[in-house]
Structure 1
Amino acid sequence: MKPTLALFEADLHCHTTASDGLLTPSELIRSAAELGLKGIGITDHDTIQGWREAEEAGTNYQLQILRGIELNTDWHGKEVHILGYEVDATSDYLNDKLSYLRQARKQRMLEILNRLELMGVHIDVDQIQRLAEGESIGRPHIAQALIDQGYVSSIREGFDRYIGSGSPAYVGLHKLTPEEGIELIREAGGVAVLAHPGMNRLEQGIPAWVEVGLQGIEVAHSEHKPEDEMKFRAIAQEFHLLATGGSDFHGEARKPGVKLGRWGVSIDVIQQILDLVRCKY
């Protein structure tokens, strides 16, 4: 049976096995091409590891690749995710900071496993390392291990019972502030975009983030209601920001119901982002 075609030309928020997605970069690009997408953004957490494979696959499938990254930041106890598009992969400043953030992820993983052990739930470190095919370890890898060991039946149950915020084995991740995340992306020559602001009601922070260099808002997203999209599209217009969009695709088992290409933008938004990269600022 042929896959359902994408609703948009470009999906600018996708994850691969380089972080916590289920498809390799090449598998993701092949799936995107089969759906009829013209462009796709690779936005793994704290790593650019998947870029090269994605670009090679993009050439094979004649699909435009937007190179990106997603940074987790904290603002008054709320998670704020910042997408960075077309950062300079050779930036020592960027790579040093990303290495530090990935090490913090590994340390958190060890602390979570220790808490689980105290609860009588044994998950081996090596099992997590095998599940995390890329260099960026996330809680979904731990949730998958809980499924594999028979402790839970789904990713959601793993978060709710053990490792989600407020759960007994939860350990917070060391995070940058939004300002630090935006500045890191801009210093590395990239375009800084606020991801899915409707999830945590982040509208009050936007004026200050614009002041430090925010250039876009992810308006279309799988977690946004129609009224969220209308609100943040209006805010993007008010502050002269790019209106971007993407599914936040990870794979069906990891994010059920979040389909590749069901949220996104027209292909010309990629060109708008590339034009910003070339601008002097």
Structure 2
Amino acid sequence: MRTGNLLASLNNNDDNFIGGADLHLHTTASDGTLTPYQMVKFAKDAGLSAIAITDHDSTSGLEEAISAGNELEIEVIPGIELSTLDGEKEVHILGYFIDPSNIMLIDFLSKMIRARDNRTVEMVEKLNDLGVDISLDRVRDISGTPFIGRPHIARAMLEMGYIREPAEAFTPEYIGSGGRAYVERFKISPEGAIGLIHKAGGVAVLAHPGYLGDRSALGEKDIARYVGYGLDGVEVFYSKHTSKQVEYYKCAALKYGVIMTGGSDCHGWEDVRLGEVRLEKQYVETLKYYKFHRNKELRGQYEYFFN
């Protein structure tokens, strides 16, 4: 689906923007538990006016989500969340208004899918060696998509009775970071992710800087460095950020002249944070305006934002 068609199909509900926006949601196109349609319906039922679908290293759910947005009359922004590695820290970069048909993006995501598959094979083999008898075929069945990750392994372990809840799989005993059956993921650098998002026509935003995978946080110096790489914004408002962190990252965004976004990072029914972050209209409009000015040659495709 070409960008022009994709963006032309978005709903611009400016006159009814009363429920706020959640710009960080995951579906079954990555590691969420709701299909793209179900997530859009979930957001509509929660009273949101706009959302962004930001699946991990995947754009496969965007067409379904935007179609659902048209049907249910809720604005859906096409996005992605890219996993990167900065030294020993896993840093996520969000991309908004990306073109899912961009060749460079497609090539990169294809490599990611192959790398994820190989990683899953290795982790299942390691678990088997530890006496955890789960099958790769069952893990693939649970996923039901080319996107296979640790959540699907955890569900297979739960089915077989090795754990009482999925969270138990994400420990040093099993597939937690650095765990006995853990295998590192293929990742690019933050600089590479920012560049890729820009080449795909998107706006690059640092995701949850106060809540990294290892529970550490990024500081102002990190943000300054990423801005030097071309970073466009910071996810200031995040469901797990403390009020102190929100103020800290808000000040950093203002200092370096980048935009502010926010979202819940909801992954589905089992995660009730949907709508916990509800951005006001001004933040969504700023994101759109910034996208518009980054791509002046595409002016005709974005004028509807300002009608």
Deviations 1:106-128 (A, max 9, x none): 11101100100110112211111
1:179 aligns with 2:196: no
1:90 aligns with 2:101: yes
Q: Report the CA distance between 1:86 and its aligned residue.
A: 1.0
Structure label with greater radius of gyration: 2
Q: 1:188 to 1:145 in 2, by over 3 A?
A: same
SS in structure 2 of the partner of residue 214 of structure 1: coil
Give me the whole-angstrom Cα distance separating, in 2, the residues matched to 1:85 and 1:280.
Answer: 12
Percent identity, please.
Answer: 42
For 1:244, the equivalent position in structure 2 comes to 261
For 1:64, the equivalent position in structure 2 comes to 75
Counterpart amino acid of residue 245 in structure 1: G
Are the counterparts in 2 of residues 66 and 270 from structure 1 also a CA contact under 8 Å? no
Q: Report the CA distance between 1:242 and its aligned residue.
A: 1.1
Match of 1:158 among 138, 160, 169: 169
Deviations 1:17-74 (A, max 9, x none): 1111001111111111111100011000111111111111101111000110011111
For 1:78, the equivalent position in structure 2 comes to 89
Counterpart amino acid of residue 102 in structure 1: I
RMSD: 1.5
TM-score between both structures, scaled by the size of structure 2: 0.85
1:279 aligns with 2:293: yes
For 1:191, the equivalent position in structure 2 comes to 203
Match of 1:17 among 18, 28, 36: 28
Are the counterparts in 2 of residues 72 and 176 from structure 1 also a CA contact under 8 Å? yes
Q: Comparing 15-24 with 270-279, which one deviates more in the overlay?
A: 270-279
Structure ranking higher on relative contact order (CA contacts 8 Å, 6+ apart) = 1
Match of 2:131 among 100, 116, 120: 120
Give me the whole-angstrom Cα distance separating, in 2, the residues matched to 1:185 and 1:252.
Answer: 29
For 1:227, the equivalent position in structure 2 comes to 244
Alignment of 1:37-56 (within 5 A): 37-56=48-67
SS in structure 2 of the partner of residue 169 of structure 1: coil
Are the counterparts in 2 of residues 48 and 69 from structure 1 also a CA contact under 8 Å? yes
SS in structure 2 of the partner of residue 175 of structure 1: coil
For 2:301, the equivalent position in structure 1 comes to none
Deviations 1:187-225 (A, max 9, x none): 111000000000131123111110111011001112211
Q: 1:56 to 1:252 in 2, by over 3 A?
A: closer
Task: Report the number of matched residues.
Answer: 272
Unaligned runs of 5+ in 1: 1-6
